[in-house]
């Protein structure tokens, strides 16, 4: 392990030298309002195709809104279906106010909204029936799907600077809820997992834009407001472009911004999110359900995005069963999220995340800047949230490994680095370098939403980790404590902590602690 750790450090040090340092983005340079007309070449430390808008046949049908509030679901759907039978084309919703239920896209169809269009989705379950194959928080089932839905379609697009408003408050849809762990038996056939609101059955909350099993998916332009659940949520898709949209779901539980689940080759750029949960997330399926499906999320690029309020700015997990790998997030601004870079899972989640790269990130957070959260909490996993005793390794033991974070400016946080692995599967091979940070966050600031950050005295807290390098840190902090518990192969290089006149207090403990190295650190640390 020591030899592998040294090789890991050497290779990543060389990669850092080989890259030219670029200025960090400002808030004016990212998000929806900064969207360029064309997609720039995609660069990543892994293979990525040069994704573009799919070619849509040159046919068009332009629809006019009703003069009253009547539902126009059939008008929209018939136009889509007719055009799809002809080989595809563009369905245009003219400027005005539209009322509709679920819209189902078909292959070779672009749904375009003229600028100034407002689309209001029904809050009633009956306008989203019959049920369709979908997923809910990583579990396959049959329910309402999404407000804009597609299944096994190719070459689909949704475009135009419209205002899309999710299911109306007070309707029957809002009586649904997301899945809870253990609510469905994994051995129940998918065809029998029906949530349609009939005969006393529950319904599962629909996502806003939710293609499933689709190829060549393109989304540009709209503003998404008042979702009932996750906003942008492609599942099992390949070749996906999401750009120039905005999401507003602050105050809505589970109101994630962009959730990529079990997809391959995805570009998310110039997106602005203000969310009721995680802003940008990569997921790999949930628990035993996701393990059996076995589809990873992989080869994904987030760039030039803006996260405002939310639980996690750039997030991996917590659904990780099919693995989340090859993520490159760069040139993003996180302005007011609870946590900045957030890698999270739980003991029963399985899978994990690997080969995760974050570069040129500017952030200001309510709680943590960079966090690994692998234990979960007792309200979700009961006794498994206790660090010890460590349970035996199983196929559902999650892992996080091979993570690089570099060129980060933290303009406010409470805790800079929080790495909480688990004893049986420590967080592995982590390099964080070239960080400037101010952790003097005003503790009187109210944390985001109903979630209050756990008070922590630590500026850096590492528990159950193997192979961590912190290099070239310049930190101003009013916290004076640091902790390493059962950390092995840990290196601090040129870590400068200005503790505002306080004396550093540090704890190093645990039977597994070994191979700690502190070089050119201020104040000096003697293990």
- The answer to whether the peptide bond before residue 389 is cis (omega within 30 degrees of 0) is yes
**Does the residue 527 lie in any domain?**
no
**Does the residue 526 lie in any domain?**
no
Task: Please give the angle made by the CA atoms of 348, 352 and 353, to the nearest 5 degrees.
Answer: 160
129: containing domain: 2-519
**Does the residue 232 lie in any domain?**
yes
Spatial distance between the Cα atoms of 171 and 123, rounded to a whole number of angstroms: 5
Spatial distance between the Cα atoms of 289 and 136, rounded to a whole number of angstroms: 11
**Does the residue 132 lie in any domain?**
yes
pLDDT at 377: 81
- Listing DSSP states for 89-128 in one string gives EEEEEPSSEEEES-EE--TTEEEEE-TT-EEEE---GGGG
Residue spans of the chain under pLDDT 50: 1-20, 443-452
Per the CB < 8 A criterion, the answer to whether 313 and 341 are in contact is yes
In this predicted model, what pLDDT tens digit does every residue of 416-429 receive, in sequence order?
A: 999 999 999 999 99
pLDDT at 62: 98
The pTM of the full predicted model, rounded to 2 decimals, is: 0.94
CATH code of residue 30: 2.160.20.10
**Does the residue 524 lie in any domain?**
no
Per the CB < 8 A criterion, the answer to whether 217 and 159 are in contact is no
In DSSP terms, 273 is beta-bridged to: 247, 307
Structure tokens at 34: 């900064």
| β 139-143/132-136 pair status | antiparallel
What length is written for the chain?
527
**Does the residue 525 lie in any domain?**
no
How many Å from the N-terminal Cα to the C-terminal Cα in the chain? 20
Per the CB < 8 A criterion, the answer to whether 174 and 202 are in contact is no
pLDDT at 365: 94
Domains of the chain: total: 1
Spatial distance between the Cα atoms of 191 and 390, rounded to a whole number of angstroms: 37
Spatial distance between the Cα atoms of 209 and 147, rounded to a whole number of angstroms: 6
Spatial distance between the Cα atoms of 524 and 527, rounded to a whole number of angstroms: 10
Residue reference for tokens 């952790």: 439
The DSSP symbol for 330 reads E
Per the CB < 8 A criterion, the answer to whether 155 and 57 are in contact is no
Distances, alpha carbon 512 to alpha carbons 7, 164, 246, 382, in Å? 21, 53, 46, 25
Residue reference for tokens 């206790």: 386
User: What is the SS3 assignment for 56-91?
Assistant: CCCCEEEECCCCCCCCCHHHHHHHHHHHHHCCCEEE
In this predicted model, what pLDDT tens digit does every residue of 177-193 receive, in sequence order?
A: 666 656 788 899 999 99
């Amino acid at each position: 392990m020591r030899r592998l750790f040294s090789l890991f450090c050497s290779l990543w040090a060389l990669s850092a030298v080989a890259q030219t340092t670029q200025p960090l983005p400002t808030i004016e340079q990212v998000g929806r309002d900064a969207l360029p007309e064309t997609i720039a070449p995609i660069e990543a430390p892994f293979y990525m195709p040069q994704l573009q808008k799919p070619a849509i046949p040159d046919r068009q049908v332009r629809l006019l809104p009703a003069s009253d509030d009547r539902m126009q679901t059939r008008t929209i759907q018939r136009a889509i279906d007719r055009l799809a039978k002809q080989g595809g084309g563009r369905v245009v919703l003219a400027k005005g106010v539209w009322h509709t239920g679920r819209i189902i896209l078909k292959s070779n169809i672009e749904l375009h909204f003229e600028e100034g269009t407002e689309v209001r989705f029904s809050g009633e379950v009956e306008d989203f029936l019959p049920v369709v194959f979908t997923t809910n928080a990583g579990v396959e089932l049959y329910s309402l799907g999404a407000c804009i839905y597609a299944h096994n379609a190719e070459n689909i697009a949704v475009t135009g600077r419209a205002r899309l408003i999710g299911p109306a408050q007070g309707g029957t849809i809002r009586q649904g809820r997301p899945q809870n762990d253990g609510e469905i038996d994994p051995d129940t056939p998918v065809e029998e997992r029906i949530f349609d609101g009939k005969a006393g059955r529950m319904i599962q909350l629909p996502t806003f834009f939710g293609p499933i099993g689709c190829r060549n998916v393109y989304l540009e332009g709209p503003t998404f407001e008042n979702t009932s659940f996750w906003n942008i949520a492609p599942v099992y898709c390949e070749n996906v472009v999401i750009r120039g949209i905005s999401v507003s779901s602050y105050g809505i539980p589970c109101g994630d911004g962009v959730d990529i689940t079990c997809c391959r080759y995805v570009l998310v750029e110039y997106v602005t999110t203000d969310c009721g949960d995680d802003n940008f997330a990569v997921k790999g399926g949930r628990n035993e359900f996701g393990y059996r499906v076995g589809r990873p999320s992989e080869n994904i690029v987030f760039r030039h995005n803006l996260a405002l309020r939310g639980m996690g700015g750039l997030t991996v997990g917590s659904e990780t069963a099919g693995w989340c790998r090859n993520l490159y997030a760069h040139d993003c601004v996180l302005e007011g999220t609870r946590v900045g870079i957030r890698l999270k899972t739980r003991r029963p989640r399985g899978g994990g995340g690997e080969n995760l790269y974050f570069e040129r990130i500017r952030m200001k957070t309510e709680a943590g800047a960079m966090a690994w959260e692998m234990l979960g909490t007792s309200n979700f996993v009961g006794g498994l949230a206790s660090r010890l005793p460590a349970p035996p390794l199983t196929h559902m033991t999650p892992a996080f490994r091979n993570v690089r974070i570099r060129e980060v400016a933290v303009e406010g946080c409470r805790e800079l680095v929080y790495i909480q692995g688990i004893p049986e599967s420590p967080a592995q091979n982590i390099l964080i370098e070239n960080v400037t940070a101010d952790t003097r966050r005003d503790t009187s600031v109210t944390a985001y939403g109903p979630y209050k950050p756990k008070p922590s005295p630590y500026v850096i807290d590492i528990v159950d980790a193997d192979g961590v390098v912190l290099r070239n840190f310049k930190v101003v902090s009013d916290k004076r404590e640091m902790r390493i518990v059962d950390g092995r192969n840990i290196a601090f290089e040129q870590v400068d902590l200005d503790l505002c006149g306080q004396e550093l207090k540090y704890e190093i403990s645990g039977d597994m602690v070994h191979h700690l190295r502190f070089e050119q650190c201020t104040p000096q640390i003697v293990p």
